[in-house]
Chain A
């Protein structure tokens, strides 16, 4: 049972490039989340989804887009990467108000 899997684990982008981060869960969870975590800081919610086909903004949504076309996948897109988006990105999934399970993170550097 893989749980929550994030792809890729590391990535270096040039300013202005685009990329998509993939989060996949095999627990049939309705809820999925994307966070970013900067050094020494707590996690900040970017976007989240309460079910297939739905998405909503979190605390820091600007510069990111998401899609939830399949229940098990939640994609995070950066259309034009900026150095300020250098961070570690975590995905999570859960049943409604139950415990959330997190992936191992994607370390993104924008140069």
Chain B
């Protein structure tokens, strides 16, 4: 059973900021929240990981509120090449993927 809940699909336009929110009500105290990106016919690729507050790298930002029951992946100024499936997960020894969010960027 997937441990996270996220929207099945989202559409956005090139140049806009996209925010994808994920719920993880039962996250354990010591676990990190991780986001992956997957393009068709490829393996998932790590985007960002965080424990609390805000984390930013060259690709995205991750916002995690104090209760850690949800997180938001923010993609700034998306392009057509950001069309992909985005997975939110928290892990222990296992890495369990949910259904992910299918993001479609329109020109």
Majority DSSP secondary structure for residues of B touching A: loop
**Which partner residue on chain B sits nearest A48 by CB separation?**
B94
For B, the interface residue count at a CB cutoff of 8 angstroms equals 23
Are B93 and A99 touching (Cβ within 8 A)? no
Q: Please name all residues of chain A whose beta carbon is closer than 8 Å to the beta carbon of B100 when the two chains form the complex.
A: 42
Are B42 and A105 touching (Cβ within 8 A)? yes
Least Cβ distance of A39 to chain B in Å?
10
| Selected contact of A97 from candidates B42, B43, B87, B91, CB within 8 Å | B91
User: Binary interface profile of B, 67-107, with partner A (CB < 8 Å = 1, else 0)?
Assistant: 00000000000000000010100011111111110000000
Q: Residue A108 at the B interface, CB < 8 A? A: no
Which residues of A come within 8 Å of B, CB atoms? 4, 31, 33, 35, 41-45, 48, 50, 56, 58-59, 88, 90, 92, 94, 97-105
Are A59 and B96 touching (Cβ within 8 A)? yes
